[in-house]
Amino acid sequence: MSLLSLAIWTPIVFGVVLLALGRDEQAGAVRWIALIGAVISFLVTLPLYGGFKIDTAAMQFVEKSMWIERFNVNYHLGVDGISLWFVLLTAFINVVVVIAGWEVITRRVNQYMGAFLILSGLMIGVFCALDGMLFYVFFEATLIPMYLIIGIWGGPNKIYAAFKFFLYTLLGSLLMLVALIFLYTKSGGSFDLLTWHKLPLSGTAQTLLFFSFFAAFAVKVPMWPVHTWLPDVHVEAPTGGSAVLAAIMLKLGAYGFLRFSMPIAPDASREWAWLMIALSLIAVVYVGLVAMVQKDMKKLVAYSSVAHMGFVTLGFFIFNTIGVSGGLVQMIAHGFVSAAMFLSIGVLYDRVHSREIASYGGVVNTMPKFTAFALLFAMANCGLPGTAGFVGEWMVILGAVRFNFWIGFASATALIFGAAYTLWMFKRVYLGPVANDHVRDLTDINAREFLMLAMLAVAVLYMGIYPKPFTDVMDVSVTELLRHVALSKLN
């Protein structure tokens, strides 16, 4: 097995082993096996970065073997500068989530940990797949463990939220399946993604394909106005589920635009870029305003995720190098910051069993260590320079100003809204005198929670202070993608 297969199947194998263990009486052993599995799964991804060549846009670590011979479906994997960091990010977040659920989950522990490990492997498969049908299988399969995570370990309305999540994302993906079958017939019976990138398609075919892919990927991002499932799901999902959903699963949709929509339908992507920019700006500005009036901390951070992902799609469809690279950097940064925000809310919820902002006040007086972490993550969510949250947004705004000053100006206003809703929440939850007996009885974070938050804090600060390793990996691949989109009419 090559490195990519190891990255995909190591967590899945550990997940299946955990499912086989069964009883909650074995919970202690289950937790340790889950942690060992998550750590090994992360370690096997590190050689990908160590052996990655940053001076080529070609796919690397490629492996290909026949899967379904009759339909010419291949088990075809590879990564380039666009996808590499998401493999590492997924494996890293999986380690954090296993640590986060260590003491919190007390029933069906093996199924909970197993679901996350299997989900991690499937999401890595999405980022590595170079066969259209293989991509679709991984893309859809991620719904199953997340549906179970929400439906079994979620809040009071977990069944409603799980169904809403499943139906929205599944229905959007059905049009993508039609598009994949069309491309299969058009290419003479091939599901090879790199072959599809070179197909000479008419303007009408490109437009239909673009909107077919849009139906699947826009729901997953989620873009306005198909974002309404996200707040409901976040509120009901367990803390680990919210962290993985925000940190990784939303990125599957944005990644799809770069891997499918732009290279396969480049003319249509340029033609409809105005629509993508408009929807992105609405997400950035309007959804930011919606976040300001939320009373539930999880809902506030969920709406903030929609606004931050608006920066990603905006960066992609302004078609300049700094904008697309900024969108990718923002995706990685949002993975760290959003996971940290949701896990911080989980720390409070585990103690008080309320997500309402009004239930708190003066937390700094009883949890000073935790408040220091929460302040860092709040600053990163605002886009403070020196944190991961700043780098991607700044690059996207710079690219947008180069594209059109007023689009850049409109996107920059979102930084004001982001600071407003994040700092207002921080003030009401953490600052001031102790507001009630619940807060007075709080105990500061333990060693496990400190480790979980410290891992994310290091990632947030490292990326904010020294983003060069992240941008160096993606530069050549982004340049090649934009060259392909720009030259498509000439070909």
Instruction: For residues 86 and 131, state if they share a domain.
Output: yes
Query: Domain ends where: 229, 248, 267?
Result: 267
| Res 486 pLDDT > 70 | yes
Structure tokens belonging to residue 11: 């967590």
Contact 382, 419 (CB under 8 A): yes
Do 372 and 458 sit in the same domain of this protein?
Answer: yes
Does residue 288 share a domain with residue 225? Answer: no
Mean of pLDDT values over 188-208: 83
Flag whether pLDDT at 56 surpasses 90. no
Looking at the predicted structure, is the pLDDT value of residue 272 above 50?
yes
> CA separation (Å) from 434 to 344, 354, 365?
19, 16, 7
Do 255 and 294 fall within a single domain?
no
**Maximum alpha-carbon separation in the chain:** 70
Same domain, 368 and 451: yes
Give the residue-averaged pLDDT of 393-415. 86
Q: pLDDT-based confidence at 40, cuts 50/70/90?
A: very high
Indicate if 187 and 97 belong to the same structural domain.
yes
What is the predicted pLDDT for the residue at 123? 92
Q: Is the peptide bond before 222 cis (omega within 30 degrees of 0)?
A: yes
76 & 218 share domain: yes
Is 254 found in the same domain as 316? no
Which pLDDT does position 24 carry in this prediction?
A: 66
Provide the pLDDT for residue 491. 37
What pLDDT shows up at residue 431?
85
- Condensed to tens digits (0 to 9), the pLDDT of residues 281-318 reads 888 888 878 888 888 888 888 888 888 888 888 988 88
Question: Is 122 within 8 Å of 13 (Cβ atoms)?
Answer: no
Q: What is the pLDDT of residue 460?
A: 92
Nearest Cα residue to 8 out of 112, 94, 87, 92: 87
Give pLDDT, residue 428.
87
CA distance 303 to 18: 34
Domains held by the chain: number: 2
pLDDT digit string, tens, across residues 106-136? 788 888 888 899 999 999 999 999 988 899 9
pLDDT above 70: residue 91: yes
DSSP per-residue letters across 127-180:
HHB-BHHHHHHHHHHTHHHHHHHHHHHS-TTHHHHHHHHHHHHHHHHHHHHHHH
How would you classify residue 129: left for phi > 0, otherwise alpha for psi between -120 and 50, otherwise beta? Answer: beta
Position 409 pLDDT exceeds 90: no
If asked whether residues 237 and 286 sit together in one domain, one would say: no
Distance in angstroms (rounded) separating the CA atoms of residues 451 and 429: 22
- Residue 29 CA to residue 37 CA, distance in Å, equals 12
Q: How far is it, in rounded angstroms, from Cα 210 to Cα 204?
A: 10
**What is the domain range of residue 476?**
272-491
Domain boundary at 267, 285, 310, which?
267
332 and 398 together in one domain: yes
Cα gap 148→140, rounded to integer Å: 14
Please state the rounded mean pLDDT for residues 6-15: 91
Mean pLDDT value across the chain: 86
Residue by residue, DSSP assigns 367-397 as -HHHHHHHHHHHHHHHT-TTSHHHHHHHHHH
Torsion of CA 292, 294, 298, 300, to 10 degrees: -20
Please state the rounded mean pLDDT for residues 193-220: 85
The answer, yes or no, to whether residue 490 has pLDDT greater than 50, is no
What CA–CA distances, in Å, run from 254 to 6, 126, 133, 331, 340? 25, 12, 18, 8, 20
The predicted structure's pLDDT at residue 459: 92
Q: What is the pLDDT of residue 487?
A: 65
Rounded distance between C-alpha atoms, residue 216 and residue 171, angstroms: 8
Q: Does one domain contain both 228 and 346?
A: no
Taking residues 350-364, what's their average pLDDT? 84
Cα–Cα distances in Å, from 416 out to 284, 292, 377, 409, 420?
Answer: 11, 11, 17, 12, 6
Same domain as 424, residue 277: yes
pLDDT at 75 over 70: yes
Distance CA 351, CA 258 (A): 41
Question: Last residue of some domain: 211, 233, 267?
Answer: 267
Given this model, what pLDDT does residue 87 score?
A: 92
